[in-house]
Structure 1
């Protein structure tokens, strides 16, 4: 359970923010400006100090190369919840919003009006900061460098914050068409990159201070120097690394449920672990945008594959581009449209893809468990399919070793895997039909237990699904192929009884440590985490729950 990790990190962050605020608050409480501006200036300066700190650390959770290196090469993962990097990024963002609100609000509504209405005697100590000729109106503060940079930053931040909200980023709101065009992931991505302007203005704003004239007291650049340098190196690494990681498209398939499958050549020296993800760039869609996708091929495969669900504007455009070069499949092929590039002489012109990665994810820790319980909802099955394939390859490798065949790859601990895939659409089973059949064919000792669930059909015991259940049983008995999924894996109807699933695993694997890996919508997270804790407490089987960021 990672809650204690989250608690201590948040407690440390909050303590630092509170300490910085208190330090500046007390410092300005004993300065001459306090006699004129009062607690307005102490609040503004305290908030400014926390904002400097938060503007620095908000960059760290998105330094993905650094995080992947730390979680893979160090033991810090024992105490630091690296999987919550984006959640921490959001928490710090809200901290910045509070700090900016207090800072700007105290200055604009309190400090400046009090200074304008101060008597000549009260203003005299302020001459060293604002000049002998006192400001005569409110506009004097706004048009100065400190004023316009501050106002511009607030406006840009407000745009980025608004478009980053799930209602706008995922187009959940029913907005008029002209306004809807200004939302979506593209709008989120471009507005988030306004941070380049914001940071430039932040440094200028922090250097042109009213109340601090000595350079060593202008500490904004000191806070930002190291995180900005680290983040700049991260972006440079991506630029250089992706330059030679241009991949060749081997196979394209469009499946039911708006899913695009891409098989690519594996770049030389490209090593990854199942459960990790890569960033993909397609210049024909956008030369700037990089999008993360879980790797669905296994490390032992001679190709690299990803499955993309078209939900937003970028993925929709990518699917449209590849659909143009696809043709209807032949009888023995799956999918709605396909293009097998390696076959035939007339090779179509395909969009160029660049990849960057791989990057660490929660699911990559599967190798340390003897038993795996993998749960995927819809397209959330993608990182777990890679794990299933790797476990299958591990089984093949162990069989080869037993037969006397040498293999360079070191076998890992996993001896048993349970995979539960829950989806609403029958057509979704086409996405990984090949993997399902391969597991059924090669897994002679039944080390991998596959369970497909189609929730759009009533439960097996329901009279409304009796006919399809009967046909399914007859077809499976006759040909060994499931009538629903088209694979050798029999499909269940309705939702799994998760309590029975955990009980089944606990009974069969007493005194074992089971890795539970879930990827899908957040609604099921609470139930799976609760059951993992409950069965760990009540049985001798210990369940470790991991939630993939989805």
Structure 2
């Protein structure tokens, strides 16, 4: 537990601050509507559901203010660069921007649910206040607004009114339905199942946020919930008059109460984030307009498309990622890909596997599906947004780094290490790299094996055999491959990769691996970098916390996950 707190203290602090602010806003607003004299008559009709509706609305506005900030990629990238001297803990929090985005989304969903339920009850109570059983005071309050000099409190004007139809003719009712439908579609299409199997559905549905925010700003203009005006409170002694309602208009201290709706405030909460997001989209559009030159296309037999590109002014760092758009495939979709080239190279590259409709269409557009050769000028146009920083860019900040790849290997980082080792003038703070690659298909080694081979050879030439330790784990093979592996198990070079380091078969025992790392580096801060599936990420994060020493002088494992 102590190690967990040590490693996750900033995450816990930020979570507590967010929860604390939500709780404070909810309680403060709740007490205001429960105690304020302006809403005494409204509470007589609605009870405590008035406070529940208004408190949840305040928290809803607060979270809607936050929801756009984590997806302002250029802002996050700027803050990440600006926090270079602030320690790794802050940068690791910025790398969790999508996690925070999801957390805030859950807050929006929760408060929206409370708000909807409270107002459904309020509508029913407004309606029941028109019935004879409601009592004389509620009937009198519901009857206000029929004369020219009166203002109404109850938006349901008669007991015979169809409440559903009445509500759906108001601004608040129409926008409320629109907001709710948009939110349901956004939330349901954001599940991991939909994102992985039908990314396009997730992508398009998420753009309903425009409808959601438009509805949110307009929603409060309906002013459905009303309270007594400040001028009326000065003339109408509500404490006395609520118990002497038969004296209204007759007693000097009890003129008819006047009511007005709350002024819309949602726009005040979301205006600044929306301006920031518009600036973000403007920058992305400007990048979209910039020309991208495709210099090389390679189709690997393992079903991987390798693209080499150039773009004016493009400057990348090792471990960064970009967003790609192919207008001939889709005019709106952008997909993230880790860069597989090094900053030292004259081009930037990505390796793309077919994992959905968009990548399949991209393969077809480039002729990779039929392995048909296309002249470079015949290739479809690509647009590039980025590069953006990720957790992986911090690998060179540690003396010891552990790179674990469950899907995409750290090609960019390893290439950059190779170039830095070739340059005698380069001084590296990084002294040791452990590289783990877990892969289920032997053919995936095809494009990556050459890089490891050259890196292995270069390290041997520089007498730096101990600089890089790599461990390749193959988790899937068929019977013929198993026979081939068994026949060549005594060869000096690995039968799968052709490297000196032999491939391991099965999954790593992470407890054993981290125990060995802790013994090898008993007083180091070790950066652990992961790119891969969520299930393995949880295991690695837990293992990092387990093997970190409570003593600050001991070994510390700092977990960094690449997410975009």
Is 1:313 aligned to 2:357, yes or no?
yes
Q: Is the 8 A contact 2:26 2:56 kept in 1?
A: yes
Change (3 A) 1:271 1:359: same
Q: Is the 8 A contact 1:48 1:103 kept in 2?
A: yes
Matching of residues 373-384 of structure 1 within 5 Å: 373-377=402-406, 379-381=407-409, 384=410
Is 1:353 aligned to 2:398, yes or no?
no
SS of 1:69's partner is helix
1:96 aligned partner: 108
1:252 aligned partner: 297
Counterpart Cα distance in 2 of 1:277 and 1:129? 58
2:394 aligned partner: 365
Displacement, 1:302? 1.1
- Residue from 7, 12, 16 that aligns with 1:11: 16
1:140 aligned partner: 166
Q: Is the 8 A contact 1:436 1:488 kept in 2?
A: no
SS of 2:544's partner is helix
Gaps of 5+ in 2: 1-5, 130-137, 227-258
Is 1:35 aligned to 2:44, yes or no?
yes
Counterpart Cα distance in 2 of 1:431 and 1:368? 28
Counterpart Cα distance in 2 of 1:221 and 1:281? 32
RMSD over aligned Cα atoms: 2.8
SS of 2:528's partner is strand
Q: Is the 8 A contact 2:306 2:352 kept in 1?
A: yes
Counterpart Cα distance in 1 of 2:56 and 2:382? 44
Displacement, 1:77? 6.0
1:207 aligned partner: 221
1:458-504 deviations in Å (ceiling 9; x for gaps): 9xxxxx95762441433xx3xx5x32124565322222333343344
Displacement, 1:16? 1.5
- Residue from 246, 265, 273 that aligns with 1:219: 265
Q: Is the 8 A contact 2:143 2:152 kept in 1?
A: no
Deviation larger for 28-37 or 444-453:
444-453
- Residue from 474, 477, 485 that aligns with 1:468: 485
Is 1:234 aligned to 2:251, yes or no?
no
**Count of aligned positions:** 498
Counterpart Cα distance in 1 of 2:345 and 2:14? 39
Displacement, 1:260? 2.1
Counterpart Cα distance in 2 of 1:157 and 1:25? 24
Counterpart Cα distance in 2 of 1:79 and 1:275? 18
Q: For the pair shown, which has the larger CA radius of gyration, 1 or 2?
A: 2
Q: Is the 8 A contact 2:65 2:269 kept in 1?
A: yes
Counterpart Cα distance in 1 of 2:459 and 2:66? 48
SS of 1:169's partner is helix
Counterpart Cα distance in 1 of 2:308 and 2:498? 22
2:67 aligned partner: 58
1:529 aligned partner: 541
Q: Is the 8 A contact 2:126 2:155 kept in 1?
A: no
Gaps of 5+ in 1: 172-183, 329-338, 402-409, 459-463
Change (3 A) 1:166 1:499: closer
- Residue from 367, 372, 376 that aligns with 1:323: 367
Q: Is the 8 A contact 2:405 2:532 kept in 1?
A: yes
Matching of residues 104-503 of structure 1 within 5 Å: 104-108=116-120, 110-118=121-129, 119-124=138-143, 128-130=151-153, 134-135=157-158, 136-138=161-163, 139-171=165-197, 184-211=198-225, 217-244=263-290, 246-265=291-310, 267-324=311-368, 327=371, 347=376, 349-377=378-406, 379-381=407-409, 384-398=410-424, 401=425, 411-444=427-460, 445-446=464-465, 447-457=467-477, 468-474=485-491, 477=492, 480=493, 482-487=494-499, 489-503=501-515
Displacement, 1:419? 1.1
Change (3 A) 1:44 1:306: same
Displacement, 1:411? 3.4
